[in-house]
Chains A and B, each alone.
Chain A
Amino acid sequence: MPVVDLAETTKRDLNAQLHALPADTNATHWTVENSEGQHALAVGLDVPITVEINGHAGYYCAGMNKQATVVVDGNVGVGVAENMLSGKVHVKGDASQSAGATAHGGLLVIDGDASARCGISMKGVDIVVKGSIGAMSAFMAQSGNLVVLGDAGDALGDSIYEARLYVRGTVKSLGADCIEKELRDEHKADLRRLLDAAGLDETVSVADFRRYGSARGLYNFHVDNSSAY
């Protein structure tokens, strides 16, 4: 069970060591100490290992992740799990802006709050935020699911495509072309699956959520919509 102390090892060495691991490595559980909010920690991983970061991480933690599970016992900066393809990223604290930006797959769980632009341009990722999210979240969100147990800020889902948004608390305002939609059984089942994956039990009831998605009114440019652009 390797332990990497970033007070002694450089981030570049840490990332290089993780990239060099073969797919069938026995070193499946890594611990990183003294992260001190450094940027680009555990980025570009592509092996089914777990990396636990004991402390805060800076920008782009676990960026472009594939297969790996990255757990941050602290807060993260901008763009955690940006463009993730698969695997799981779990932040035990809060996340800054653009959490899960453009991510194509995998699961991002944030125990605390996430700031503005959470899930911006998301392309298939599942994101579960146990706290609240900031303004302009899910802007141009293409696909995937964003689940928020707390509240959402202004302009949620502006110019959204096919992503599904589930919010349990209040939504300050909806962005252009984003509307509330019926929460049907299929959505409830999907929501349950996401909550389970995020380690939330039945005390969180799917019936308490509202679903938001695209009105699909801006999918093809139309002159009469020009004030919406």
Chain B
Amino acid sequence: MDLENIPQTLPRFSATFDPHTLAEIRRAAATGIYDIRGGGTKRKLPHFDDLLFLGASVSRYPLEGYREKCATDVWLGTRFAKKPIHLKTPVTIAGMSFGALSGAAKEALGRGATIAGTSTTTGDGGMTPEERGQSQTLIYQYLPSRYGMNPDDLRRADAIEVVVGQGAKPGGGGMLLGQKISDRVAMMRNLPKGIDQRSACRHPDWTGPDDLEIKIEELREITDWEKPIYVKVGATRPYYDVALAVKSGADVVVLDGMQGGTAATQDVFIEHVGIPILAAIRPAVKALQDLGMHRKVQLIVSGGIRSGADVAKALALGADAVAIGTAALVALGDNDPAYEEEYRKLGSTAGAYDDWQEGRDPAGITTQDPELAARLDPVQAGRRLANYLSVLTLEAQTIARACGKSHLHNLEPEDLVALTLEASAMAGVPLAGTNWIPGQTF
């Protein structure tokens, strides 16, 4: 044996104890506290990327791009509301709180949504004049904390969204750390400046579906049955949650998958609670169908929507519309590589920055620091968001036309196949090249 020339094995990292895990153990040991961050889950999950459209061929014929119409509009709240909402595109802006976001960022979201003909949504912390002023269609969230909740804003809103949960943290409340509590945020929430604000995880005056029904009735009575009432749930048991929301009298159900972003939550919560949106849409649609309510109670889905392909896939699986949070922030300028030097100083890098709870966002979006916030021009940022929304819509139309659909809502599960067994089972569409859906027998 040639002892001098034994091949050198490279040091090998454990797949279980990988470098990230090791670093997290050391961080926990040094601090004694869990990691809090913003954003959504960062691990790879079965997602819309695992689905493909079949497109038209001999058995189906396509529509001509640029010539034949492919409509994109959507009505929301047609079940009970006297004034349902009509949007030009099924891509809506999800609820993100003033407090988590700066006033200018909220304004920019309103501007972008309005140009695109879609809605935007308030968040934990109440309605600001900036966003009401700039949002043609504004959904007012009714959250457990009820920060800033008041009947005037309820009447000023175009719809009301009762928030039961969020995909990033189903079963969890909100968190706004002291660093982000400016005078204005403190005043709107009626709390002392500089303290950590915890938003409750349960509503203070109702628990369970029977109470929710009465709560929804109260909100309708206060607003004279004018406004659509949405119920937002994090994706966990979508079949039952959607059925119970319908039973409780919702006009619209918002279903948020585990990829959905958050302003600030424990990392362990973001990564380990809830299910991917891909797995949640079919059971939700099934619940609506079983109740004879599909398309009568509209379904908005969210959690990791990035492109027109994602939009088209969500709609093909049976959703009426989608909502975007993270992608909208990126369109405004979040995690922009132009600020790389500053992300480095914060121990991060553009594209990975998620310490939104700290309020030191170089892009000036997830902050209450006036100097940082001033970096975001709400008019320009709103324009970028409008452009992005337009691209999402055009992309979804491109796919729908290729599948021969004259409306995005005509997309259907039969237009889809799955690339992986997981996606096939979760989305209930066959594995590409087969007619096999795991778990389904014919």
A interface with B by C-beta (< 8 Å): 11-12, 15-16, 19, 39-40, 43-44, 46, 58-60, 63-64, 66, 78-79, 82-83, 85, 97-98, 101-102, 104, 117, 120-121, 123-124, 139-140, 142-143, 159, 161-162, 219-221, 223
Contacts and interface: CB of A to CB of B under 8 A. Distances in A.
Contact of B218 (A43, A219, A220): A43
Given A44-B221, A83-B151, A143-B190, 13 more contacts: A40-B217, A44-B151, A60-B214, A78-B205, A78-B214, A82-B204, A101-B146, A102-B204, A104-B190, A123-B146, A159-B198, A220-B195, A220-B196
Contacts of B145: 121
Contacts of A221: 33, 177, 196
Interface in B99-146: 145-146
Closest 8 CB pairs of A and B: A44-B222, A79-B205, A219-B195, A102-B146, A98-B205, A40-B218, A64-B151, A223-B32
Given A78-B206, A101-B205, A63 B222 contact: yes
A223 B33 contact: yes
A94 B82 CA distance: 36
A98 B204 contact: yes
B192 A161 contact: yes
A147 B264 CA distance: 36
B205 A82 contact: yes
Contacts of A124: 190
Nearest to B151: A64
9 contacts: A15-B221, A40-B222, A60-B205, A64-B222, A121-B145, A140-B200, A143-B190, A220-B194, A223-B31
Contacts of B215: 59-60
Contacts of B191: 142, 161-162
Contacts of B204: 82, 98, 101-102, 117, 120-121, 139
Nearest to B217: A40
Contact of A102 (B149, B151, B154, B198): B149
B224 A16 contact: yes
A221 B140 CA distance: 29
Interface of B: 31-33, 145-146, 149-151, 154, 177-178, 189-192, 194-196, 198, 200, 204-206, 211, 214-215, 217-218, 221-225
B221 A120 contact: no
A60 B200 contact: no
A219 B196 contact: yes
A44 B225 CA distance: 12
Contacts of A15: 221-222, 224
Given A39-B218, A58-B214, A19 B33 contact: no
A98 B32 CA distance: 36
A40 B211 CA distance: 12
B32 A40 contact: no
A104 B206 contact: no
A4 to B, nearest CB: 14
A142 B154 CA distance: 22
A219 B211 CA distance: 31
Contacts of B218: 39-40, 43, 59-60, 63
Nearest to A123: B190
Contacts of A101: 146, 204-205
A46 B151 contact: yes
Nearest to A15: B221
Residue from the set B191, B195, B217, B221 with the largest chain A CB neighbour count within 10 Å: B221
A11 B32 contact: no
Residue from the set B204, B214, B224, B225 with the largest chain A CB neighbour count within 10 Å: B204
B211 A78 contact: yes
Given A40-B214, A44-B221, A83 B149 contact: yes
Contacts of B192: 161-162, 219
Nearest to A144: B190
A35 to B, nearest CB: 14
Contacts of B205: 60, 78-79, 82, 97-98, 101-102, 117, 120
B194 to A, nearest CB: 8
Given A44-B151, A124-B190, A142-B191, A79 B206 contact: yes
B146 A19 contact: no
Contacts of B225: 12
A139 to B, nearest CB: 8
Contacts of A40: 214, 217-218, 221-222
B275 to A, nearest CB: 26
A159 to B, nearest CB: 8
Nearest to A42: B221
B146 A83 contact: yes
B179 to A, nearest CB: 10
